[in-house]
Amino acid sequence: MAEASPHIWLLSAYRADSHAAWADWLQQHVHEVHWHVRELPGRHFRWRIRGSPLSWLDDLPGQTPDRIVATSMVDLATLRGLHPRLAPVPVDYYFHENQFAYPVSPGQVESLEPQVVQLYGALAADRLLFNSRFNRDSFLDGARELLRRMPDATPERVPERLAARSSICPVPVHPIPAAPERDHGLILWNHRWEYDKAPDLFADAVIGLARAGYRFRLALLGARPRTPPDALTRLRAALPERIIADGRVATPAYRELVGRAGIVVSTAAHEFQGLAMLEAASAGAIPLVPDALCYPEQYPEQYRYPVGDAAALQARLAAWLTGDRPPPADVSPWLAPAVEPAWRRVIRGEQAESVV
């Protein structure tokens, strides 16, 4: 008799961006298991990270699973406490991000609670999976600092214990094919227009580039709030004739623009894997990224510029636009063909080995 396929719960308490891409990819590509998926919309962050056990209190499958794969937005310790039948079930806890390294937005009140939820979740899990070494290391460093601040009764060697059951397993990125013709003067921005992506730095650099007389075009993609951010307003006012795309576009149009772009830029103040940059680099756009966060793992020094330095960013863009540019970056270790076998081993419960 054939062995029954395992029942896996996939719990994602914040369906947005990389969380959604990852959850969908697992279901579409790992077929040898029975998936039971519970997700919550990617909004109301503080309610999601603390309230997911309440949202799912009466909404978990009746059959106890063989394994649970939960994101770090799930309050795993509370969930297991509310459902004693889950105590013996092995759990993989997946970090798309961690709250120790997430920048606080202007006007936001800093709180320890999201950090503590993730620390408890990590302690309650059997294995920890991170999408980059930067994500893992900043989480462990943050946990170490939090424990250092405890006034007394502090447990010993918690970060070391967590590190021993941690592995790197990126979100699989589907490569985008290059367009038949490359537009080397097309600069692509394909990120959210929010504070943590620092779009003002990008605007400063490209407006300065235009004033210096360099020829280029802009594709301004990515989600943006209803009220246009200052950076986008400035770009529209200063460079209207250079903008060939402005807004979220349908998938075919997005892939065509990404496949045609000559340069793709990040100015992020936070990035744990950088899916948008990896997509563009897979299509042959030359990536230009800050020398920080997850980027040193992915791109050699020639693709990086000093953090927060608009003048350095502008100078590098100027050099590349005039022909002094490096070859496309090799991001194949981060793409789905390289990452898929590792995820299959994880889902089968085999030893998780770091991919990159």
> Between residues 18 and 257, which one has the greater pLDDT?
257
What's the start-to-end Cα distance of the chain, in Å?
38
Confidence at 351, pLDDT banded by 50, 70, 90: confident
**Which 8-state DSSP code applies to residue 252?**
H
Q: CA dist 219 to 18, 81, 129, Å?
A: 22, 48, 34
In the three-class reduction of DSSP (H, G, I as helix; E, B as strand; rest coil), residue 117 is classed as helix
243: number of Cβ within 10 Å: 14
Q: What is the mean pLDDT of residues 119-125?
A: 98
**Which 8-state DSSP code applies to residue 110?**
P
What does residue 201 show for φ and ψ, rounded to 5 degrees?
A: -65, -40
224: number of Cβ within 10 Å: 19
Q: Token digits for 90? A: 């092995």
For 131-143, b where at least 16 C-beta lie within 10 A, e where not — what string?
bbebbbebbbebb
0.85 exceeded by pTM: yes
Torsion of Cα atoms, 97 then 171 then 270 then 205, to 10°: -170
**Chain-centroid distance, C-alpha 350:** 25
pLDDT digits (tens, 9 = 90+) for 181-195: 999 999 999 999 999
Q: In the prediction, which pLDDT does 105 show?
A: 64
Under 8 Å between Cβ of 215 and 186: no
Q: What is the mean pLDDT of residues 231-259?
A: 97
Q: What is the mean pLDDT of residues 278-282?
A: 98
Specify the range with the lowest mean pLDDT, choosing from 94-103, 175-184, 303-312: 94-103
pLDDT at 104 over 80: no
pLDDT digits (tens, 9 = 90+) for 292-319: 999 999 999 999 999 999 999 999 999 9
Q: CA dist 351 to 128, 167, 354, Å?
A: 12, 10, 10
Q: In the prediction, which pLDDT does 109 show?
A: 61
Q: In the prediction, which pLDDT does 322 show?
A: 96
pLDDT at 3 over 50: yes
Summary mean pLDDT of the chain: 95
Q: In the prediction, which pLDDT does 354 show?
A: 83
Give the domains, in start order, of the chain with CATH numbers: 7-172+335-347 (3.40.50), 183-332 (3.40.50.2000)
Q: In the prediction, which pLDDT does 103 show?
A: 75
Provide, rounded to the nearest whole percent, the portion of the chain with pLDDT above 70.
97
pLDDT at 106 over 80: no
Confidence at 1, pLDDT banded by 50, 70, 90: very low
